[in-house]
Amino acid sequence: MGWFRFFIRLPLVLFYILVGFLIIILLHLLAGKSWFKTRLGKNVISVWMQILSFMIGLRIYVEGKPVTGLLVANHISWLDIIALGSITGSRFVSKDDVLYWPVIGLLPKWSGTFFLKRGSAAAVSRLNVEIQSALRDGSTVAIFPEGRTMDGREVHPFFSALFQAGIDAGVPVQPVAIRYIRNEKRDQIASFSGDITFLVHVLSVLKAPSVNVFFHFCEPILERDITRKELAKKCQNSVTKVFESEPQYHE
């Protein structure tokens, strides 16, 4: 049954990615290189991600209401981006090596993703300015401050560097808890952690039955007199608190 799912899903997903390229090219021509900043662009991203989520077997449940601002979430998988994008139409921050992925790397580049060069303080400073500008222009930006994907057992410390953009832009900063549940237990297939390669993980996901993805949008934080480290800790605590509760099924 697993291989049957794989051979049904794979051609659909590949065709759909091709459709995504064509849509982006069309939007570039009609709305310019910054098409993703428009209301139409945000809606296109959200709908495209919704359909892709369905294709790869993500059943998404939402608790709370997302705001326009800086979203900060725990990180379990590349699936987080697809599922969260389907709800919010967010722009994301990614490591810059994604740019060098064959073909697929062009999709995030052309749709407003921010890229971070790791290990460079100057790059972080420049990125904060870029994110701050986007937030002030009304974009919703999502970051994963754990810095890498985890197994979803618990919430790890949030690095605070990119929180400065939210503070400087004066926008709400909203903690978001992400969990993958299968048969009322933590799903291990969705987690992209350890030594598994991206292609092997894609294979596992496409073979697996549908999985429940739970998003809990916590109370947004809007404080002027706060440091980025204090803000990061507050957000981490909010997400940790959600992990201690049972997920609620609200589609």
For 23-41, what is each residue's pLDDT tens digit?
999 998 988 989 999 999 9
- What local confidence, expressed as pLDDT, does residue 102 receive? 64
Does residue 80 have a pLDDT over 80?
yes
Which pair of structure tokens corresponds to residue 116? Answer: 């971070």
pLDDT value of residue 62 = 96
Q: Using a cut of 0.85, tell me whether the model's pTM lies above it.
A: yes
pLDDT score for 248: 65
pLDDT number for residue 245? 85
162, 93 in Cβ contact below 8 A?
Answer: yes
**The pLDDT of residue 251 is above 60:** no
pLDDT confidence band for 162 (50 / 70 / 90): very high
pLDDT for position 246 = 76
Q: What is the pLDDT of residues 170-189, one digit of tens each?
A: 999 999 999 999 988 999 99
The SS3 assignment for 68 reads: coil
SS3 144: coil
Q: Residue 137, CB half-sphere, CA atoms under 13 Å: how many?
A: 14
Which range among 42-56, 64-78, 109-123 shows the weakest confidence by mean pLDDT?
109-123
pLDDT value of position 194: 76
| Intra-chain end-to-end CA distance of the chain, in Å | 27
Share of the chain above pLDDT 70, in %: 96
Residue 103's pLDDT is 63
Give the mean model confidence (pLDDT) for residues 104-125. 83
Where is pLDDT greater, at 194 or 161? 161
How confident is the prediction for the chain on average, in pLDDT?
A: 92
Cα(56)–Cα(69) distance, rounded to whole angstroms? 28
CA distance 61 to 119: 35
User: For the chain, which domains are there?
Assistant: 2-243 (3.40.1130)
Residue 144 clears pLDDT 80, i.e. is over it: yes
Which pLDDT does position 250 carry in this prediction?
59
Beta strands 173-182 and 185-186 are: antiparallel
Q: Does the pLDDT of residue 94 top 90, yes or no?
A: no
Give the C-alpha separation, 204 to 3, whole Å: 10
The average pLDDT across 97-111 equals 75
Buried/exposed 117-132: b ≥16 CB within 10 Å, e otherwise = eeeeeeebeebbeebb
Output the pLDDT for position 22.
93
